[in-house]
Every structure is written in C-alpha cells, then in structure tokens.
A = this chain, B = another copy of it.
C-alpha cells in the first residue's frame, strides 16, 4: 500500500503517482484517472508521516491537554475546540494530565515527538510544567492556554474572569441580606480555586460578611470533596446563612449531601455556585450561579491557535472572558 507499489503495478514512476494523487498538474487526465481508480481499488491512503516528513511542513495534527475529561466544563471546551479544528482539517491528540506535572510533561514530550503543529492546553500550574512550557515557547512552538495560565509567561491565553464572577455572586448574596458565608473550595493546587477563594475572602471582608474558618471546607476539586465538605458545614451548630461552591463537580457533590440530609434550600441554607452545569436547573430549587462560557473559550482557543499558525494577527494575547450571573431560587431574601 504505497506509492511505489502503485507505480510498479501500473508501470509508471512513483513521482507520477504522487502528482496524480495529490492533484498536482503535470499528469495527463487519462493516466491520473487510472491511477486514482487503482489507488481506490486497492484501498490506498497516503502515509501522512512520510508526506509531512518530506514536505518539511506541517503535520496537520495538534495536541490538546486537559486535566480531566470527566469534568463537564472541559468536555464542553473540547467539544467546541473539536468543531473549529474539524472545519480547519486538523486532527488532534487528546492528552489527560490529571493535574500531574510529570504526566503532563510526559505528554508534552510525546506531542513534540509527533511534531504536532501546535498545543492547546489547560496547564497544570507547577514550576516544572512552567519551565517546560517556557522552553517550548522559546523554541518557537505554538501554544495557547485556556482556563489557566502562567502569569509570568507571555503565552496567549483565554481565561475566565474569575474575580468578576465571584464578585457578582457575593454582591448578590449581599443584596439579599446575607452576613455569614461558608465556602466549599477546590484542590489547593488549583490556581483557579485559589483565585476564587481569595477573591471571595477579600470581597466578603470588604462587605463585612463573616467567614468563619470552620466554614471553609474542601480538599479537592471532586464530587466527593464537595459532598463531604457540605456535610461538614451542615453538621455544625453555628452555620453560615449561605454557602458558596467554587465549581461544578464540587457543587454536584454538595447538592447530593443536601439531598441526602434533606436540608431545605433556601429556607435552612442558601446556596450559590460557580459554573452553570446540567444539574443547576433541575435541582429543587434551581441554583443561583455564575456562568462561565466554556464553548466560547474553546472556540477562541482553537481559532487563536489557527490564526497564529497561519501567521495572522492575534488581536489580544490574553483574553479575559466575562461571567454571567444567573439568578434562580437558591438564595433566601433576608431583608
């Protein structure tokens, strides 16, 4: 199944076959058709490796790195990226980092070995990964970050305005009269979680909303952590009037805990969440939240990468996406 074999079988030269199959001029229509038909008949598909190797050009492949496909947020981003890439004829390797710097670097090396044209990544924020991305970038590899980025690296990125989102939520509960706040946080390694938590604490302080240390729970960005954290908060004798949950999977767990303990929302406890996923609308009552736009994030990341590859101008290096407050019925009006 190679151009050489076809050439031999048809008694012509390999270069003629190459020209015929790749639509280049310089072959008579008769011969071209004969070659194309024969190639189809024997089920020939050109070897992309050999072709890209010889052309010294692009491979038409990209690498995408995400921490977790199980998270609907990332699944949605990937879906949007896929859409753009397909319409531009790119294939991509999907790499899962599990937030593990070693695993991420392993994948990066392998992507480089496969000579991908570019990399779209939600990077694990760690010194090792930072150094590696930095090296790659200075050796002219095309990289676009989404969801997270390294503040000290000048690599294009598409990130949600997390501070804005948190402030919108806290403003809302403030207006509803809440003065005590609990928080279900994320993995301590998550920069996203760190930013959201810090913004929440600072802004709550500014508005004189009390956050007792024992009201801050969460050890991880998983459903399990959300579940256990919410249970811990609910079992305290002095509870906050409202709990802020910092992402989608943890809020799923928190909601499960609430269902299980049959806590009444918003009468006994109010709830607000970062991220608007599937379940926020069908919970009883529907959850007030701040919505990121993972679809837009994916589209922008992919388009930016492609623009850079095509040497087109990229308008902004760092894109900050707005969040949207969606008011539902999970916050009790106290005033």
Contact = CB atoms under 8 A, between A and B. Distances in A.
Tally of this chain's copies: 2
Interface of A: 43, 45-50, 52-53, 59, 61, 64, 68-70, 72, 75-76, 78-79, 82, 86, 91-96, 103, 107, 109-115, 135, 139, 252, 255-256, 258-259, 278-279, 281-284, 286
A110 B61 CA distance: 10
A195 B286 CA distance: 34
Contact of A282 (B64, B91, B256): B256
Nearest to A295: B70
6 contacts: A47-B113, A47-B115, A48-B110, A68-B79, A78-B94, A94-B94
Contacts of A255: 282
Given A78-B69, A284-B284, A48 B113 contact: yes
A48 B115 contact: yes
Contacts of A78: 69, 94
A4 to B, nearest CB: 13
Contacts of A258: 282
A326 to B, nearest CB: 14
